[in-house]
Amino acid sequence: MTPTPTFFESKNTLTCNGELLDLSDPVVMGIINITNDSFYHGSRFKQKRRIYNRAKQIIEEGGKIIDIGAFSTRPGSNPVSEDQELQRLSKAAATIRKHFPYAIISVDTYRASVAQRMVNDFGVNIINDISAGEMDKNMFTTVAELGVPYIAMHMLGTPLSMQNNPQYDNVINALFKYFTSKTEELKRLGVNDIILDPGFGFGKTLKHNYAILNNLETFRVFNLPLLVGVSRKSMIYQPLNTEPKSALNGTTVLNTIALLKGAKILRVHDVKEAVEAIQLTQTCTSEQLKNS
């Protein structure tokens, strides 16, 4: 009989097309946005050649997952049509699969029909849903039927409205309640590979974002991998009075803090730097050093 996981025995593998992705050591998810209006200009890739070059860069720099998205989720953004989303994602997925057939691809979508098409047509490995089923009630049953890992992110409202004075009695308690409900529903449907994303910047003030980061280790009680996506976001460049293109150093600082607090997946624009942060953090916390 398998023992019940304890606080220190988080799930450390994901099943991707029959292969296990080991999360014993944290991994990096590199971003490819097939859009004109992502908040960070350096992450926009529309032409096939640029998509290929970016996927190649992610893999060569040590990224384990390629996350493709077809519309911006920056504050105040409007969604694209389903047809346009599918057209953009299909171009990206086909390009990546042609040149890197064994790459682990994650699709950033909240539409169940899009998730289904991308898995069935291109063998996409992971569904990354910014709304955790809130924007499409068919998403949970679809993911259960597809049998792929699922990233459930917390967001207050929608991208169009999420930063219109977001308020919580206690943001940590709100996220705990939210993830408890979502994980129970997913597990009832038979979804076993669940990743939790606190949703930095999605319906949170600067104070909320740092409260979550400061308490990130408490979410390990769910015994599920934690994904952190703070790359070049306003929680970095606003306190530093700068802009996204100047926020790489700040991103590395916050990624390092997240790793020390239990993050297993870093979703980033800058893969090489995130991989190095993982390597040095792992070196610093290794048992060999602890026992020296």
Positions marked active-site: 233, 267
DSSP secondary structure string, 246-278?
G-HHHHHHHHHHHHHTT--EEEES-HHHHHHHH
Residue indicated by tokens 């994901």: 14
Q: How far apart are CA 14 and CA 17, in angstroms?
A: 10
Answer for the pair 50, 15: CB distance below 8 angstroms, yes or no.
no
Q: Supply φ then ψ for residue 215, to 5 degrees.
A: -110, 20
Q: How far apart are CA 161 and CA 157, in angstroms?
A: 6
Q: How far apart are CA 230 and CA 226, in angstroms?
A: 13
For residue 122, which of 88, 86, 90 has the smallest C-alpha distance?
90
Counting DSSP H helices and E strands in the chain, the numbers are 10, 10
